[in-house]
Amino acid sequence: MLRSTSLRRVAPVALLLPLLSGAPTGWAPATADEPVAGSLQRQFAVAADRHGVPESVLLAVSYLQSRWDAHGGAPSVTGGYGPMHLTDAVTALAEAPHHADGSEDARGDEARPPRLAAETVPPPVPAALPPRLRTLERAAELSGRSAEELRTSTAANIEGGAALLAAAQREAGLPASTDPAAWYGAVARYSGADDSATATAYADDVFDVIRTGESRTTDSGQRVALAADPAVAPATGQVAALGLRAPARGPVECPPSVACEWIPAPYEEFGDGDYGNHDLGDRPGSQSVDYIVIHDTEASWDTTLKLVQDPTYVSWQYSLRSSDGHIAQHLSLKDVGWHAGNWFVNAKSVGLEHEGFLTSPDSWYTEAMYRTSARLVRYLAKRYGIPLDRQHVLGHDNVPGTVTSTIKGMHTDPGPYWDWAHYFRLLGRPITPSAGPDAGVVTIRPDYATHQPVYTGCVTAGEACAPHGSGAVRLHTAPSADAPLVQDIGLRPGGQASTTGVNDTGARASTGQSFAVAERRGDWTAIWYLGQRAWFHNPKQAPTAVNARGMVLTPKEGVASVPVYGRAYPEASAYPAGVPVQSVSPLPYKLLAGQRYVVGGRTPGEYFFAPTFDVTGHTVVRGQEEYYEIQFGHRVAFVKAADVQVSRA
């Protein structure tokens, strides 16, 4: 994840540099060998021919791993390099798991002592990592290419991937057929999955790409195309001969189109009345499920599973593996996980942790994981009636602090490198214009690949991160790139301007978030943001936002300002005897007269009282007070319905 104390990772990364053949190697452009248009397409053709792999199979496997991008030589979240996502074990080491970092109380409930989890599982050593995280080593042996070439040269990387596919076909005792349908088992093996369901789901996705075809311009400016082959009928029975285990499905709640297994989080009591690592609930009977929260883990897959099975740690509903999109479910959806740092959100959300690392600052996520995650989110949204928009599908970095004192400690994952535009296309809700040029609402949507604002602090404080696509725009106090960034008085009570730090969300608007327009001036657009005008560069020839429709709210007539809250708790009179009243404490921001904010939904004030292991005293307190969720800054917020008036923008 991208988080406030990522600088703690500097020493471990430095120790790994000799294993990476020096720092420059890790960041060397993997596009230097393809300066001519069409050369990337030819590299796939040459590698396929050399190793006897059907070109469509090689292209489809690469698409599912990387969408044919080279990512400038930067490794993925699991240490995968280049278009074929060849994994190098050393880059997949992590020092501090996601929830072990910072001051955020993952539970976020003031009625109980803070749950500040500590790291309980040491990072793995390279030799102990599974083969799926060490495919670059095998590709080097098979192709004769050096590890450095496989990391930094797209041609070598593609050849390494072709060599792995050819070896998988040979090892299955199958001929190097020219028929793509004969390669289903080799494709399943390439996934690295150790269970048959995941390998099958991965191979199904690859052959779906072959059937439908794909074409796109890559991050290196290369146009690559795969012609559709709708008649391909793969030999799906080949998976049975791979000797893979059957997954422990258990009582999973997943769509049938994904591979999902049950790895439960423990509900256990331990010492002094404390317990973990979640709360038993009765959702949606007791409370509606309104949010889906997207996290990344900052830990290896094996470490993630060990942590979520630790009763002294914290919990979430699902973990997703990067290399192949495999899903593990840990909690029944009726129960409440401790993951978002805000108890109101925890009680009404489902948490998805995506395998990810900050061993390299510009880590990227595989297409396999994006696709599986999108299928899971679509399933959850349909099951609970959750709108597929950015005020209900939240990043952890969009969850508000509960009160003023918790704002600084909130986490910042999945950060500015998560591709929300692509994710929402996979969700079937692409972010497109829905209004004309004079619309009162805009939805942020820069071109992810070409939009590369400078971030700092990925490795060393103040130093620029490597260039990388981003779905976030930067917000200024005036329509000029030289103007200071807007202030976030919750993060900086002294009134200092926000920074370009990769973990600083104070002046950042992210793809899919919708804001009310305050003013337009030339190539610049101002939005209402954290109680102020905030300007972002939005040129007509390369827009970073689309015009949209929406409902907005503003203070009621005659009211100068209304308070803003980080949770929607009931009024004091709603609490029964024996349940301590939770404060309705406003955040330090104000929603001022004349300002407008986009409405996400209306919700009753609710509080889930669950302070003990024994569930007999658990209850949901629901009041008469109602709230609107709004897109207030980079994080959402709540205002009392009685304080505002709503209208169409």
What pLDDT is recorded for position 111? 79
State whether 216 and 236 are in the same domain. yes
Shared domain check, 295 and 279: yes
Q: Which two tokens stand for residue 12?
A: 């471990």
Residues 513, 638, single domain; the answer is: no
Backbone angles phi, psi at 381, to 5 degrees: -65, -40
pLDDT-derived band at 465 (thresholds 50, 70, 90) equals confident
Name the helix (H) or strand (E) containing 25: helix 23-27
Task: Give the CA distances from residue 375 to residues 426, 428, 429, 562, in Å, rounded to whole numbers and listed in that order.
Answer: 8, 10, 12, 39
pLDDT band at 560 (very low <50, low <70, confident <90, very high): very high
Is-contact 162 138, C-beta < 8 A? no
Using the predicted structure, report yes or no on whether residue 31 has a pLDDT greater than 50.
no
Indicate the pLDDT class of residue 124, thresholds 50, 70 and 90: low
Question: What is the DSSP secondary-structure string of 101-157?
Answer: SSS--SS--TTS--------SPPPPGGGS-GGG-HHHHHHHHH---HHHHHH-HHHH
- At residue 290 the predicted structure's pLDDT band, cuts being 50, 70 and 90, is very high
Is 40 a member of any domain? yes
What token pair was written down for 534? 């905030």
Q: Is the pLDDT of residue 134 over 70?
A: yes
- 352 in any annotated domain: yes
Q: Where a domain ends, among 212, 242, 272?
A: 242
Assigned token pair, 460: 């060393």
3-class DSSP assignment, residue 649 = coil
Tell me what pLDDT residue 492 has: 96
Determine the pLDDT at residue 272.
79
Tell me: pLDDT of 87 over 70.
yes
Residue 22 has pLDDT above 70, yes or no: no
CA dist 539 and 521 (Å) reads 10
Please check whether residues 166 and 259 belong to one and the same domain: no
Question: Would you put residue 575 in left (φ > 0), alpha (ψ -120 to 50) or beta?
Answer: beta
Percentage of the chain surpassing pLDDT 90? 75
pLDDT at 459: 75
592 versus 95: the higher-pLDDT residue is: 592
Task: Give the residue with greater pLDDT, 111 vs 569.
Answer: 569
- Tokens 């005008």 belong to 533
Cβ neighbors of 42 (< 8 A, separation 6 or more) are none
Query: Do residues 389 and 470 both lie within one domain?
Result: no
Q: What is the pLDDT of residue 455?
A: 92
Q: At residue 60, what is the residue type?
A: A
Instruction: For residues 100-129, give the mean pLDDT.
Output: 67
Mean pLDDT calculated for residue range 85-114:
69
Q: Is the model more confident about 495 or about 385?
A: 385
pLDDT for the residue 98: 53
**Stretch 624-639: mean pLDDT:** 98
Per-residue confidence band for 624, with pLDDT thresholds at 50, 70 and 90: very high
> How does DSSP assign 498-554, residue by residue?
P--BTT--TTEEETT-EEEEEEEETTEEEEEETTEEEEEE--TTS-SEEEE--EEEE
Q: Please state the rounded mean pLDDT for residues 238-260.
A: 92
Q: Are residues 194 and 137 in the same domain?
A: yes
Q: What is the model's pLDDT at position 504? A: 94
3-state DSSP assignment of residue 12:
helix
3-state secondary structure string across 82-100: CCCCEECHHHHCCCCCHHH
Average pLDDT, integer, range 316-327? 94
1 inside domain: no
* pLDDT, averaged across the chain: 89
Supply the DSSP string of 187-240, one letter for each residue. Answer: HHHHT--SBHHHHHHHHHHHHHHHHH-EEEE-TTS-EEEE---TT----GGGGG
| Judgement on whether residues 415 and 448 belong to the same structural domain of the protein | no
The domain in which residue 32 lies consists of 6-242
In this structure, the number of other CB atoms found within 10 A of the CB of residue 14 comes to 11
pLDDT at 112: 79
Q: What is the C-alpha separation between 10 and 234, in angstroms, rounded?
A: 46
pLDDT in tens, 442-464: 999 999 989 999 999 877 888 88
- How many separate domains does the chain show? 4
Q: Do 312 and 440 sit in the same domain of this protein?
A: no
Supply the pLDDT for residue 118.
52
Select the more confidently predicted residue: 460 or 18. 460
Record the tokens describing residue 136, joined without a space: 């670059």
Predicted confidence band at 35 (pLDDT cuts at 50, 70, 90)? low
- Which is more confident, 135 or 13? 135
- Mean pLDDT computed over 44-57: 98
- Indicate whether 473 and 572 sit together in one domain: no
Is residue 422 located within the same domain as residue 386?
yes
Which pLDDT score, from 0 to 100, does residue 628 have? 98
Residue 56: predicted pLDDT = 98
List the structure tokens of 406: 């918790």
pLDDT (tens digit per residue) in 220-248: 889 999 999 999 999 999 999 999 998 87
**Could you say which of 407, 428, 449 is where a domain stops?**
428
pLDDT digits (tens, 9 = 90+) for 55-81: 999 999 999 999 999 988 878 877 889
**pLDDT of 24:** 30
Give the gyration radius of the chain's Cα atoms. 25
- Whether 380 is covered by a domain: the verdict is yes
Per cent of the chain over pLDDT 70 is 89
pLDDT greater than 80 at residue 109: yes
Tell whether 264 is covered by a domain: yes
Query: In Å, how far are 42, 201, 427 from 211, measured between CA atoms?
Result: 21, 15, 20
Q: Is 531 a domain residue?
A: yes
Query: Which of 242, 259, 277 delimits the end of a domain?
Result: 242
pLDDT at residue number 357? 58
DSSP structure string for 383-398: HHT--SSTTTEEEGGG
Residues 392 and 541 occupy one common structural domain: no
> Has residue 110 been placed in a domain?
yes
What one-letter code names the amino acid at 365? Y
Residue 2 clears pLDDT 70, i.e. is over it = no
584-597 tens-digit pLDDT? 999 999 999 999 99
The residue with greater pLDDT, 131 or 143, is 143
User: Do 449 and 414 fall within a single domain?
Assistant: no
Kindly state whether residue 280 falls inside one of the protein's structural domains. Answer: yes
Q: Do residues 14 and 111 touch, judged by C-beta distance below 8 A?
A: no
Between CA 439 and CA 436 the distance in angstroms is: 6
Cα–chain center distance at 121: 23
* CATH of residue 383: 3.40.80.10
